[in-house]
Each structure stands twice: as structure tokens, then as C-alpha cells.
A and B are shown apart, each in its own frame.
Chain A
Amino acid sequence: MERIDPRARSDAYGNRINRSHSTFLATVVPWGSILLASILPLFPIASALPLLPPLGFLLLLGWRLVRPGLLPVWAGIPLGLFDDLFSGQPFGFAIMTWSLALIGIEILEGRLPWRAFWQDWFTAGIVVGVYLIVGWLLSGATPNIHSLIALVPQLVLSILLFPILSRIIARLDRFRLHRWRTI
């Protein structure tokens, strides 16, 4: 069989004989990666101005747009709760905005069921832009024009980062569904 078609007994996720997906990984990877991305902006630099893109939110958008149907609509509640603990925004901000973003994308998807990556990128760009501006308005501090200007580099970085994050998510998805050796 292998001589006719070398891929006959395997698929994109590995050999099919004697191997199967891990339920644990299949469930944990998307949620775990978003949680990890929520903590990540704490680490690299103690900066005087906001610089890093909201990685947790970008990853949530990524999973939602790259793999629709994987995260439930209510995923924004537990994930947002966790993000609120670390993000520095007032508590409840991520719970609200992440839920609203997921509901919004759900509605949008009802209208435009078939999309290419460009549309996904466009959607993510708009959603991140709105998210950052709402975050600026509801940060608990008095919004002024200077902190709005300071948002621009962060916004540009976030939009440019989305394709890269999508590729990373695709890789994570392959890892999620990798076939492991079973007895």
C-alpha cells in the first residue's frame, strides 16, 4: 500500500495506525495558549508607555477566526476574567469586551459565512482597534489626547502581528490534533 501511496496510512496529523489524538491536548491547547498570552505582556519590559499589543485578546481573536467553532461563544467570560487579573485595566473590562467581541464575530459570521484570510485580518484589525480605543476610554484614568496618540504604535503592532499569530495558531492547531502513539 505504501508503495502506491506513501500517505495512505497517515494524514496531516501523523500516522493513523496505532495512533490517535489526545483529548487532553485537543481541549487544553486553545484555552491554555490564550491564558498564557494574557500573562505574557507582564514579562518583557517595564515600559513608561503602553507598547505591547494585547496578546491575550489577539490570540482569542486568532483562535476564533482561524478555527471557527472551536471556542464557544461564552469563552470570553472565563478567559476575560483571567486577563483582568493581569492586564491593568479595571476589573470586568476584559470580561465585557471579550464577550462582546465574540458575540459580534458570531453575528458577522452569520452574514459572511465564506471568507478569505484577508477578510479575517480586516475583521481582526477593526476589532482590535475598537478594543484599544474602548480600553483607552474605560481605563479608569482621564482620557487625554496624548495617551490616545501613545496608542498608535500599539495598534499598528497589533494589526501587523495578527498574520504571524494566525500562523502560530495554525501550528498550535496541528500540535493540538497530533496523533500520539497508543497501545
Chain B
Amino acid sequence: MPRELTYREALREGLDEELARDENVILIGEEVAQYNGAYKVTEGLWKKWGDKRIIDAPISEAGFIGMGIGASMLGIRPVMELMFYSFAYVAFDQMMNNAATCRYMSGGLINVPIVVRGPANGGTNVGATHSHTPENIFANMPGLKVVTPSDAHDAKGLIKSAIRDNDPVYFMESTVLYGMKGLVPSNDEVEGGELIVPIGKAKVKREGSDISLIAHGRAVVTSLAAAAILEEQHGISAEVVDLRSIRPLDEETILESVRKTHRAIYIEENKPFCGVGAQISSMIMEQAFDDLDAPVLRITSADAPAFYSPPIEKLQLPVPEEIVARALTIC
């Protein structure tokens, strides 16, 4: 029977299984070991695996992520935790120049099998510096992979794929999703004896025929709520497509959905300007123009830094009601 696990527990289970599978897998980050993780993703892992495998880092993101990149060149498989993905910005040179371009500049002699994971979301009343959503920024860089699981099942299956991947994978989670429960199969009920979700395959989370709500990360959850309202209150059948990874991108699943529904909205908690939705809507326009019955719409967070004050901050992020209202304009 599938078990009900939180997103956090599922991630932890994936990490734990990979630590058991490959002795070169290590976890490094601020408070990941003795503190059990700032968001408790790594709870219990230090006790189980010890100092060699689970390592508390000083507050030096450029230093320890750069160190992980160097170690990965020699075959270590470091999983680095950013307490907030916002802190990637202090490690930007390491994450962009060293992780992304060493393979290219060496003519393929080097690869960097590192995972950098952590929550990349707003909406938690912590102000702009801790609310960044850099998935579009990193996905812009060839050489990097950007993964954004939206539920417990995918959190486990994708972290395992990310760790096994021989390229740098930036794995963006959400503090809002950490406590969300979902069904995760136990290993004895999946083919191959373990849950693996390949990077680069989108998932249709809800089938529908009138409009495609395409999203990544927590916006998938928001879209599912909107789809339920559209169905119940407006008789509109919305399909919800979860990208799961932004780079590599599963264009086929997106296009298949749009060719069926003829209408699409991209929903994300990222900023609108040069955001993920801009890429997706451009792709739909180029490849499925004749299938569209309406312009592709984009719903994003407000184009301003994150507001601290909770009632206003909530207004900055996509909510189901906004998706419903925008959907009604094109259905």
C-alpha cells in the first residue's frame, strides 16, 4: 500500500536511500547535521550516517558550494542544502561559472555531479531577501538542470534522480509544501524496487478538456484548487500539467495538453519578467499556434519584491480565485 508521507519525509527518505546506495553521497549545509535541518528535511540523518556523511557547514555558501563542486569533479556526489534558495545569490559565481561551465570549457573532460537543494518560495512572511524564486535565472544557464517537485511522490523520486544525475542539478523545494502530505509508494510496490522519477518528464496531474493550467512547484497545488473550482462552479474542465523540471523541459506533454484543450495559462510563483511562463508561452505560440483558441495567459507573483506584511504578501502570489477569474476570460 502507498504510504501517506509529508513532502519533507519523502525527501528525507529519498536522501536516506541514496546515502545507503552510494558511499560517495554526502550532505553538506548549514544546520543539516546536529541541528537536524533548519526545516527538518535531514532530521535523523546525522545520527544514522555520522560526521563523515552529514556535515554542518559554516555560513559560507560560496565557500561550501564551491568546495562541493571541486569535490564532485573527483567523484564525490555532494548534496548541498541551501537553507533558503535565496542564499544562492551569495554563491552565484560558483553556481553559474564553476558548476555550469567547467564541463564545456574543458571540452567535456570534467563533469560536476552536484545537487544544490533547498526551499525557493515566497509567501512566508520573511521579506524580500528570503523569498526569492530563482528557477528562471538558473534555468537560463545551459549546463544546469532545474527541478521543482510539487508533491511528496515527486520530491522523493526526483531527489533520487538528481543525485544519480552526472550534471549539476538545482533542486528547488518549498517551505510551504514541506508539511503537505501525499501518497508515496513503498519500494516493494514499484517496478525496480525503488521510486525513481526521471528528470525531464512532466505529469498531467488532472485530466481536463477545456483549458490547460500549466505550472511548476507550489503553483501546481494552487492550479489544482483552481481546477476544482472551475469544475464545480463553472462546469469548466481544466487539465493541470506539472512541469516537474524546467530544464530539461517536457515540451511534448505541454503541447499535447494544449492541442487537446486549445487554451492555456501558465501559473508560477516566480516573477513575470523573463519568467518561466514567458518561455512556455513563447514555445506554445511557436509550436501550437493553430491549435489555440485564445492567447496564452500568464499568472505570476506580483512584479515587485516580496512584501513583508502578511495580508499584502498574500496578494502578491497566485491564488485559485485569480486563476479562475483569468480562465473565465478565455473560456
Q: Do these two chains really belong together in a complex?
A: no
